[in-house]
Chains A and B, each alone.
Chain A
Amino acid sequence: MAVQSAREAPVGVAERARPGVAEQALRVLGRAWRPAALLALLFAGWWVITATGLVQPYLVASPGDTFAVIGDKFDYFWQNTLVTLWETLAGFVLAIVVGVLAAVMMVYSPTIERTLYPLLLFAQVIPKIAVAPLFVVWLGFGIEPKILVALLMAFFPVVISMVTGLKSIDPEMLQLSATMGAGPLKTFYKIRMPASLPHLFSGLKIGVTLAVTGAVVGEFVGANEGLGYVIQQANGNFDTPVLFAGLVVISLLGIVLFALVELLEYFVLPWHASRRVDAATTSM
């Protein structure tokens, strides 16, 4: 048997690539320089149009003013960021719980799927900015209506991706599971659930950015704290630097949350095809 294995070894296993830390860092740098350069270019453009007086400062705040105001009012921005972060996370986590549960029910029952799908679509196409005032009327000025809008925004991509994931499983795998005498529960958590995770994560990445938008939209409608409130106050006061600072902080919040979901994916799905060294990768 040893002879056999030795003979088969070269064709048996593809070489497993285990890049070192330095090599990995280089690879990240190699990938990161293009977006970084583009970002730098955008900043340069922003700086040029403000510095040359091409547009009035009350229309577009300069990068310098924008970042200065963040530094000056750091506590103010920090407190309001925490509020928006909390609303976003609460809405996002609820969207995951509700979305995954709905997806599981829809995949296991065609009747439930037929019943829920039109409702889901309706909930998705209705403009959240239009229903948000209603939520304020129902739920008051606290964080509840904001969480609800964030939940509504993030919910759809989570459900759709989870349904796609659960349906993507090889039917032969399920038949095999039946011949192994496994019940539906075991089949679900040993086969279907793990197989659907790559799809779910692509939905989560879209969902988390939408949850940020949802929280801010909720704050626009009626709030006395949060980044949406900051922007609205600045708008009312013609305080362009604070308005721009608010935009920058919201963008950063979205990017950081997106990156955290990607990081989680990295640890949860070490086996996924997108992680293989030779596989084509995309940055989103």
Chain B
Amino acid sequence: MRMPASSPATEAPAHMDTSVEIEDVAVRFRTRRKDVTALHDVSLSVAAGEFVAIVGPSGCGKSTLLKLVSGLMKPSKGQVTLLGEKVDGPRRDIGYVFQRAALLEWRSARKNILLQAEMRGMPSAVARERADELIAMTGLTGFEDAYPHELSGGMQQRVALCRALLHRPPVLLMDEPFGALDALTREHMNIELRRIWRETGTTILLVTHSIPEAVYLADRVVVMSARPGTIDELIAVDLPLERDYGKTMSEPGFARATGRIRDLLGAATSAD
């Protein structure tokens, strides 16, 4: 089932620049009790402007993979190149969204978004304008001055998304951003994220547990298996760029991709 690193699917589509290049990476954690190999033999190339979703069982190293790309973690072996530059320490040319919104509870929605600008020392006029733009784009209008505890989970996640997009990062890393949301809100967020991606042209790496979410959103889906965490297969999603949520669900390409992923993940769990 495992594809060799040189297989065509691991390469980014040839006509585009490479945004993220992961080369034969391994990650080992040494804890007091035992050594854990979180990632093993992982190679992946993501083109500029591409949307890649990552699915796999819990503990297969999906979060670790994003941490490697952002430079929050160093690989034990191999290397990661982001925007043509070897990753060595935390990178600031990315946006990051976690499962928990991780908002500062003493700041209003807008102030939370603007934290990004304050930390980077962006000119405040530019930042405020961009924040307003994003607030409108994500449907937060009217909630700018609300504090995190006054916002629903979906709204909090929108704030986190705006914060991650404020500085127009060329690469956006999302680690199960909608995992804590109810199904309906999640659907809205998927549609909005797809639209935002189309509008901004950002390269997105999205970790998710939802197979339909992965297929609806992504150009390619990375399917991983655990122990040790590695890439099982890369699935190119055969769907048009313009994706209406309801219509997409009934496309044959959608059924093919989700079916394949389900088979792979089922095999991964039954092999446990």
Chain A residues in contact with chain B, CB under 8 A?
1-2, 4-5, 8-9, 11-14, 16, 170, 172-173, 175-182, 186-187, 190-191, 194-195, 269, 271-273, 276
Contacts and interface: CB of A to CB of B under 8 A. Distances in A.
A1 B134 CA distance: 12
13 contacts: A1-B136, A5-B139, A12-B152, A14-B149, A16-B146, A172-B100, A175-B72, A175-B96, A179-B70, A180-B115, A186-B118, A190-B119, A194-B106
B94 interface: yes
Interface string B93-128: 011101010101111000000011011100000000
B151 interface: yes
Q: How large is the interface on B (under 10, 10 to 19, 20 to 34, 35 or more residues)?
A: 35 or more
Contacts of B92: 179-181
Contacts, number: 93
B105 A271 contact: yes
Nearest to B91: A179
B142 A5 contact: yes
Given A173-B104, A175-B96, A179-B96, A13 B146 contact: yes
A2 B95 CA distance: 27
B149 A177 contact: no
Contact of A1 (B72, B105, B139, B149): B139
B90 interface: yes
B152 to A, nearest CB: 5
Interface of B: 67, 70, 72, 90-92, 94-96, 98, 100, 102, 104-107, 115-116, 118-120, 136-137, 139-143, 146-147, 149-152, 154-155, 185, 188
Contacts of A273: 105, 149
Contacts of A181: 90, 92, 119-120
Contacts of A276: 149
A12 B149 contact: no
Given A176-B102, A179-B70, A187-B119, 7 more contacts: A1-B136, A5-B139, A14-B151, A170-B102, A175-B96, A180-B116, A272-B105
A170 B100 contact: yes
B104 A13 contact: no
B96 A195 contact: no
B98 A12 contact: no
A5 B100 CA distance: 23
Nearest to A180: B119
Contact of B98 (A5, A8, A172, A271): A172
B100 A9 contact: no
Nearest to B118: A190
Contact of B115 (A16, A170, A190, A271): A190
